[in-house]
Amino acid sequence: MIKKITLIGSGNVAHNLGKAFILNGFDVVEVYSRTKANAKALAEKLDAKSTNNLSEINKESDLYIIATTDNAIEKIVEKLDFKGHFVVHTSGSVSIDVFENSFSHFGSFYPLQTFTKSHQADFKEIPICVEGNNEKNLELLKGLANKLSNKVVELSSAQRQKLHLSAVFVSNFANYMQVIGEDLCEEQQVDFELLKPLIKEVFHKNQKGKAINNQTGPALRGDSFTMNKHLELLKDKKELHQLYELLSGMIQNK
């Protein structure tokens, strides 16, 4: 049974997870961060101890969660010295094989959401994807996840990595499309707020059905007249010109 948890990391994911664990009756006993002040700041919010030394992390927790950047996970694993303990990471793109030569009990605990320290996400609405290196550890992670979320899914590392890639497209890239829209509007002193109802409607429709069935626009219609007008407006913006052509072509080919 998982009761005591140590968080390795103090960023956006660690902040949200830590608070969610506390709200659901778990005991976050310690927070690690490379930066002492960051570890202390989160630990104080969770009534936990803090450390910036991996060798000083307690060995009494039931679960150790590495909630750091993906490129830091392997380096942290190499420095952790408690082979018999249960360790997971929260990454969408890192296989649990990263633990194989260092721990007997390991897995992944991936909450599929974008997080910020300043806003506590509602974990009941967040899918949590879990994977364990054996059936017992998988069931422990499912039990933990079910305390936080109404949507718990077992995924292999390969499935989770493809899901994470999908998330980058629908979240990070979709958001950057809005950044481009903001820039284009600002150039002509047009209020970007005018586009907010459109953005809302697109995502609302995609909540109800498949995105491909909701595709509209000049590329889908084969409206070369409008597309050429748009490309003319982008003639001095080489990258956006190429992006417009690429995306339009992909829509038409799909």
Identify the three-state secondary structure at position 233: helix
- Spatial contact of 76 and 54, defined as CB atoms under 8 Å apart: yes
- Considering the domain architecture, whether residues 14 and 124 belong to the same structural domain is answered as yes
Strand order in the sheet with 4-8: 49-51, 27-32, 4-8, 63-66, 86-89, 105-111, 128-132, 152-154
Residues 61 and 77 in one domain: yes
Same domain, 48 and 21: yes
Verify that 20 and 140 share a domain, yes or no.
yes
DSSP 8-state secondary structure symbol assigned to residue 151: -
Judged against a pLDDT cut of 90, whether residue 157 lies above it is answered with yes
For residue 6, with 0-12 CB atoms within 10 Å meaning exposed, 13-18 middle and 19 or more buried, which class applies? buried
Q: How many domains does the chain have?
A: 2
SS3 103: coil
Q: CB atoms < 10 A from the CB of 247, how many?
A: 13
Shared domain for 201 and 245, answered yes or no, is: yes
pLDDT classification of 211: cutoffs 50, 70, 90: very high
Distance between CA 49 and CA 14 in Å, rounded?
14
* 129 plus 22 within the same structural domain: yes
Residues 24, 130, single domain; the answer is yes
pLDDT band, residue 165 (cuts 50/70/90)? very high
- Check whether residue 85 and residue 129 sit in a common domain: yes
Give the pLDDT band (50/70/90) at residue 83.
confident
Q: Which of 138, 155, 172 is the last residue of a domain?
A: 155
Please tell me the predicted confidence (pLDDT) of residue 91: 97
Do 137 and 206 fall within a single domain?
no
Q: Are residues 127 and 184 in the same domain?
A: no
| CATH number where 114 lies | 3.40.50.720
At residue 76, the pLDDT reads 96
Check whether residue 215 and residue 96 sit in a common domain. no
Residue ending a domain, among 155, 190, 219, is 155
Which residue, 98, 121, 155, sits at the end of a domain? 155
State the Cα–Cα distance between residues 52 and 118, nearest whole angstrom. 23
Q: What is the mean pLDDT of residues 1-23?
A: 97
Instruction: Let me know whether 76 and 169 are in one domain.
Output: no
Q: What range defines the domain where residue 82 resides?
A: 4-155
The separation between the first and the last C-alpha atoms of the chain, rounded to the nearest angstrom, is 48
Q: Residue 185 belongs to a domain with what CATH number?
A: 1.10.1040.20
> Is the full-model pTM beyond 0.75?
yes
